[in-house]
């Protein structure tokens, strides 16, 4: 960029400051002709040269002078937006994220924008006219507009040819789409591409375009009247606890955080529905965060049944094109309710009236790489920024949220009884000492399963291990088949006939002989979902067994298909991992079993007891949700463990408060704030040298406590060793300020560019 000198003025040029997606804490300066200065809007996207590349950046400021020689400042290539992609509110949010999570601003903005808006080269199918021909369409670039402020629709032609209509009669699905478009236009409604793709496939859409019966039109985005689609359905009668919660939240017109601590099945969603009604009637938008994609279909249905077609959905399963469409719908007030997973917190809702975080305790709200934000904490900042109410709901509140509620920083609302006639399930412990197990299940539990199945009920079995078994061992030489890159035992997957490393994803073909000595005297050790499925299929051949884990739900809509089959009672035995604990409603499940509970009791992670209690409570909440009584069984060798005894006998609410007292006494979060330094490298000595330098920096700050470096829970992955150091302080601002200085010094170290290191603000796991 040139050497610093006195400010340079050039009447023909203006100078803009830009951030781009690189791991550097700096702004870059570029020039443009001064006649275009009015178009260099703060928050607009701009294409600029960077080295030999052309990259997308975001404009932060514009000036008529520069501290560098104008001849050495590179000119911009293109301004992409007539309106800013990031308005004042979103720029402010991005700067807070960068400051709080100690992450480069340019990369923060990259996380906040859809991929389509970050591409420099426009696809070939973009037309200067208002329509796009079907010959140039492919699904990956479908209806992409280089202008951020346009929306894409499909319209029928006004005078179709007789020949086209004859051809249409030969395709039922294309005819259905044509009639669908005609019906919408008679109601004076335009059909967005995203809406149509929810009902019709790409070949059907392209077929109609090829017959010249419809065309694609890109229209200037305007604030739509989504309220014309708003249809307030009949609401359920709230019980006393629900009514109190609804009235309390409705009193909050400005920023206020309300924590709903409601037992599973207590009707938290009904509370959400009734408080949202008031927001929608005021023509305001609502953002609802849910932890998993699998929860969105059933949640969307409930909200559409109550409020009509005013709901839009955001999650990682959407294509880049669909994500851009939803992003525009948020920005241009095209929908009233947005339901999404973690990253939906970055949607630029233009008329936000409320944020709801459902299952606020769930770990999936914490991003575990790149920008390591926690969506719940970002939601708190954003609600305060927009001066709107925030509702946190869960049966098992995180200790951070519970702490704030008990200290009256949050409004605390409780729902202690299940809605309707459902009763809470009974909880029991089964002592495994001296018991011979079959695929991890005690004989007594197999008998209980038989009883429930014979009564026409469903049974849920949880084990936190996918695959058939977590290890393959040679009985002759003792060799354990392991991934060389991770020093981790391979998991046996009989369904795909291979061995997989669950750390790096590497796999090998399964051969029933030892790789070390060649013996065929090998055996599996441990239990996974596949092994339990095999046992249940052979033990209960008259009942259908279904497995739900990340292996079984691959493919679009596979999880939702399985959930629908479960709710229609096509399967009676449900086996799965944590996916099953995510708030699903299974009215026919009367028995929930949790295997291998003891694995949670001996973890070095101080959060392990909290995670165990949340898992047990959430899984138990899947049982007895309708008019059938439910029971929950925990198999354990540690029958006298105080934590398990307290959880089973007194419930999560009592357990969490005792655990919170222990945390506070130990000077751990939420009493203190933590930042973790994570470092990876192939050579352990170099990694430790870098971390010892970090320790010397930590010691310079008197109010900082630190521990480490210590091996991560997953010590080695893809041939890289992984270590962590954790710093903490009772003051979040002090910790943040100290770590900014520490980060600046770490960047200068000779190993900083060799090792892979990252900063994790308020870590939730140490694997």
One DSSP character per residue, 124-185 reads TT--SSSEE-GGG--GGGTT--SSTTEEEEEEE-SS--HHHHHHHTT-HHHHHHHHHHHHHH
Residue with tokens 């917190």: 345
Query: What 3-state class would DSSP assign to 264?
Result: coil
Confidence class for position 212, pLDDT limits 50, 70, 90: confident
In this structure, is residue 123 part of a structural domain?
no
Of residues 554 and 285, which shows the higher confidence score? Answer: 285
| Radius of gyration for the alpha carbons in the chain, expressed in angstroms and rounded | 29
Q: What is the mean pLDDT of residues 676-683?
A: 96
Of residues 378 and 206, which shows the higher confidence score? Answer: 378
Q: Which of 381, 415, 449 is the last residue before a domain boundary?
A: 415
184 and 65, same domain (yes or no)? no
Confidence class for position 130, pLDDT limits 50, 70, 90: very low
- In this prediction the pTM is 0.84
Q: Which of 617, 643, 663 is the last residue before a domain boundary?
A: 663
262 and 375, same domain (yes or no)? yes
Query: What 3-state class would DSSP assign to 479?
Result: coil
In this structure, is residue 620 part of a structural domain?
yes
Under 8 Å between Cβ of 694 and 702: no
Please tell me the distance from the alpha carbon of residue 481 to that of residue 489, in angstroms, as a whole number: 6
Q: Looking at the predicted structure, is the pLDDT value of residue 140 above 90?
A: no
pLDDT of res. 421: 62
End-to-end CA distance of the chain: 42
Residue with tokens 């929950």: 632
Q: What is the mean pLDDT of residues 455-483?
A: 92
Q: What is the mean pLDDT of residues 686-711?
A: 95
Q: What are phi and psi of 234, to 5 degrees?
A: -70, 130
Q: Looking at the predicted structure, is the pLDDT value of residue 129 above 60?
A: no
pLDDT of res. 149: 55
Please tell me the distance from the alpha carbon of residue 116 to that of residue 677, in angstroms, as a whole number: 32
Confidence class for position 187, pLDDT limits 50, 70, 90: low
Considering only CA atoms, which of 573, 580, 572 is closest in space to residue 548?
580
Confidence class for position 138, pLDDT limits 50, 70, 90: very low
For residue 692, what is the domain's CATH number? 3.30.70.600
Q: What is the mean pLDDT of residues 703-726?
A: 94
83 and 102, same domain (yes or no)? yes
In this structure, is residue 126 part of a structural domain?
no
What stretches of 554-630 adopt beta strand conformation (E)? 573-576, 589-594
Give me the domain span that covers residue 397.
Answer: 241-415
In this structure, is residue 306 part of a structural domain?
yes
pLDDT of res. 135: 34
Query: Of 148-157, 310-319, 666-675, which range is least confident?
Result: 148-157
Query: What 3-state class would DSSP assign to 589?
Result: strand
- Give the neighbor-by-neighbor strand order of the sheet with 720-729: 705-717, 720-729, 673-681, 756-761
DSSP conformation class of 622: T
Confidence class for position 148, pLDDT limits 50, 70, 90: low
In this structure, is residue 392 part of a structural domain?
yes
Average pLDDT, the chain: 87
Q: Looking at the predicted structure, is the pLDDT value of residue 419 above 70?
A: yes
**Integer angstrom CA distances of residue 461 from 315, 431, 538, 547, 667:** 28, 17, 16, 10, 37
pLDDT of res. 220: 60
Neighbours of 261 (CB within 10 A): 23
Neighbours of 224 (CB within 10 A): 15
Q: What is the mean pLDDT of residues 335-362?
A: 95
93 and 56, same domain (yes or no)? yes
Contacts (Cβ under 8 Å, ≥6 apart) of 261: 394, 395, 397, 402, 405, 412, 413, 414, 415, 653
pLDDT digits (tens, 9 = 90+) for 3-58: 555 666 666 788 999 999 998 889 999 998 888 788 888 999 999 999 888 999 99
For residue 45, what is the domain's CATH number? 3.40.1440.60
678 and 741, same domain (yes or no)? yes
pLDDT of res. 292: 80
Cα 623 to its chain centre, rounded Å, is 25
In this structure, is residue 313 part of a structural domain?
yes
Q: Looking at the predicted structure, is the pLDDT value of residue 136 above 50?
A: no
DSSP conformation class of 580: G
Q: What is the mean pLDDT of residues 438-455?
A: 94
In this structure, is residue 234 part of a structural domain?
no
Of residues 198 and 606, which shows the higher confidence score? Answer: 606
Q: Which two tokens stand for residue 408?
A: 């009256």
432 and 577, same domain (yes or no)? yes
521 and 532, same domain (yes or no)? no
658 and 744, same domain (yes or no)? no
Q: Looking at the predicted structure, is the pLDDT value of residue 122 above 70?
A: no
278 and 355, same domain (yes or no)? yes
Contacts (Cβ under 8 Å, ≥6 apart) of 640: none
Considering only CA atoms, which of 68, 70, 96, 74 is closest in space to residue 11?
70
What value, to the nearest 5°, has the Cα angle with vertex 431 and ends 429 and 432? 130
- Above pLDDT 70, what percent of the chain? 91
Considering only CA atoms, which of 608, 605, 614, 607 is closest in space to residue 714?
605
Query: Of 274-283, 618-627, 628-637, which range is least confident?
Result: 618-627
Strands 631-636 and 720-729: unpaired
Confidence class for position 194, pLDDT limits 50, 70, 90: low
pLDDT of res. 89: 95
140 and 90, same domain (yes or no)? no
551 and 533, same domain (yes or no)? yes
For residue 617, what is the domain's CATH number? 3.40.50.300
302 and 410, same domain (yes or no)? yes
In this structure, is residue 16 part of a structural domain?
yes
pLDDT of res. 570: 92
Q: Looking at the predicted structure, is the pLDDT value of residue 131 above 60?
A: no
Confidence class for position 703, pLDDT limits 50, 70, 90: very high
Q: Which of 525, 560, 595 is the last residue before a domain boundary?
A: 525
Report cis status (omega within 30 of 0) of the bond before 670. yes
Please tell me the distance from the alpha carbon of residue 175 to that of residue 600, in angstroms, as a whole number: 56
Number of domains in the chain: 6
Query: Taking each helix axis from N to C terminus, what angle separates 268-281 and 296-307, rounded to the nearest 10 degrees?
Result: 50
Under 8 Å between Cβ of 703 and 734: yes
pLDDT of res. 200: 82
């Amino acid at each position: 960029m040139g050497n610093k000198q006195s400010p340079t003025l050039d009447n023909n040029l203006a100078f803009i400051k830009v951030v781009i997606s690189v791991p550097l804490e700096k702004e870059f300066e570029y020039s443009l002709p001064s006649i275009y200065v009015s178009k260099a809007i703060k928050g607009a996207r701009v294409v600029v040269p960077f080295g030999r590349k052309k990259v997308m950046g975001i404009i932060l400021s514009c000036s008529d002078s520069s501290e560098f020689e104008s001849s050495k400042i590179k000119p911009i290539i293109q301004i992409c937006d007539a309106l800013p992609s990031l308005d004042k509110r979103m720029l402010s949010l991005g700067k807070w994220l960068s400051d709080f999570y100690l992450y480069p601003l340019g990369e923060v903005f990259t996380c906040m924008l859809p991929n389509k808006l970050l591409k420099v080269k426009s696809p070939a199918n973009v037309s200067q006219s208002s329509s796009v021909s079907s010959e140039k369409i492919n699904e990956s670039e479908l209806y992409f507009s280089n202008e951020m402020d346009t929306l894409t629709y499909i319209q029928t032609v006004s005078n179709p040819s007789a020949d086209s209509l004859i051809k249409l009669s030969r395709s039922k699905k294309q005819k259905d789409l044509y009639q669908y478009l005609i019906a919408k236009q008679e109601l004076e409604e335009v059909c967005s591409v995203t809406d149509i793709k929810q009902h019709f496939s790409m070949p059907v859409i392209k077929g109609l375009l090829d017959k010249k019966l419809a065309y694609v039109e890109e229209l200037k985005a305007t604030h739509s009247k989504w309220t014309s689609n708003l249809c307030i359905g009949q609401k359920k009668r709230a019980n006393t606890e629900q009514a109190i919660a609804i009235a309390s939240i409705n009193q909050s017109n400005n920023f206020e955080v309300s924590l709903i601590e409601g037992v599973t099945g207590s009707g938290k969603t009904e509370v959400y529905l009734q408080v949202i009604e008031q927001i929608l009637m005021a023509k305001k938008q609502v953002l609802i965060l849910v932890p998993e994609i699998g929860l969105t279909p059933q949640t969307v249905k409930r909200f559409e049944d109550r409020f009509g077609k005013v709901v839009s959905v955001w999650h990682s399963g959407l294509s880049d094109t669909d994500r851009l469409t939803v992003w525009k719908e948020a920005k241009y007030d095209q929908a009233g309710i947005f339901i999404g997973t973690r990253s939906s917190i970055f949607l630029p809702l233009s008329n936000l009236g409320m944020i709801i975080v459902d299952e606020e305790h769930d770990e999936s709200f914490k991003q575990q790489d790149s920008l390591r934000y926690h969506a719940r904490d970002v939601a708190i900042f954003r609600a305060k920024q927009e001066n709107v109410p925030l509702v946190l709901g869960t049966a098992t509140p995180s200790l951070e949220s519970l702490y704030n509620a008990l200290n009256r920083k949050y409004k605390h609302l409780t729902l202690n009884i299940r809605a309707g006639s459902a009763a809470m399930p009974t909880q029991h412990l089964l002592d495994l000492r001296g018991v011979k197990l079959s695929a991890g299940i005690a004989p007594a539990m197999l008998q209980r399963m038989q009883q429930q199945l014979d009564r026409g009920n469903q049974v849920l079995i949880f084990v936190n291990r996918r695959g058939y078994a977590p290890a393959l061992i040679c009985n002759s030489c003792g060799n354990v088949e392991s991934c060389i890159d991770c020093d981790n035992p391979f998991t046996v997957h009989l369904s795909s006939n291979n061995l997989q490393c669950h750390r790096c994803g590497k796999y090998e073909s399964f051969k029933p002989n030892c790789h070390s000595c060649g013996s065929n005297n090998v055996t599996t050790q441990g239990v996974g979902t596949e092994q339990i499925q095999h046992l249940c299929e052979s033990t209960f051949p008259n009942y259908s067994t279904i497995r739900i884990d990340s292996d079984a739900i691959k493919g679009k809509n596979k999880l939702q298909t399985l959930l629908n089959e479960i709710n229609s009672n096509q399967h009676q035995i449900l086996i799965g991992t944590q996916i099953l604990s995510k708030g699903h409603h299974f009215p026919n499940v009367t028995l929930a079993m949790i295997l291998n509970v003891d694995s949670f009791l001996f973890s070095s992670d101080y959060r392990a007891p909290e995670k165990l209690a949340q898992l047990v409570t959430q899984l138990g909440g899947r049982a007895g949700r309708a008019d059938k009584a439910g029971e929950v069984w925990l198999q354990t060798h540690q029958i006298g463990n105080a934590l398990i005894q307290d959880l089973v006998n007194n419930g999560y609410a009592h357990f969490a408060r005792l655990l919170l007292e222990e945390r506070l006494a130990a000077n751990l979060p939420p009493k203190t704030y933590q930042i973790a330094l994570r470092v990876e490298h192939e050579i352990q000595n170099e990694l430790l040298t870098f971390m010892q330098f970090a320790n010397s920096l930590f010691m310079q700050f008197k109010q900082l406590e630190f521990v480490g470096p210590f091996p991560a829970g997953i010590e080695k992955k893809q041939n890289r060793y992984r270590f962590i150091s954790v710093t903490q302080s009772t003051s979040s601002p002090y910790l943040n300020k100290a770590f900014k200085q520490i980060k600046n010094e770490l960047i200068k170290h000779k190993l900083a560019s060799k090792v892979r290191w990252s900063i994790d603000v308020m870590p939730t796991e140490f694997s």
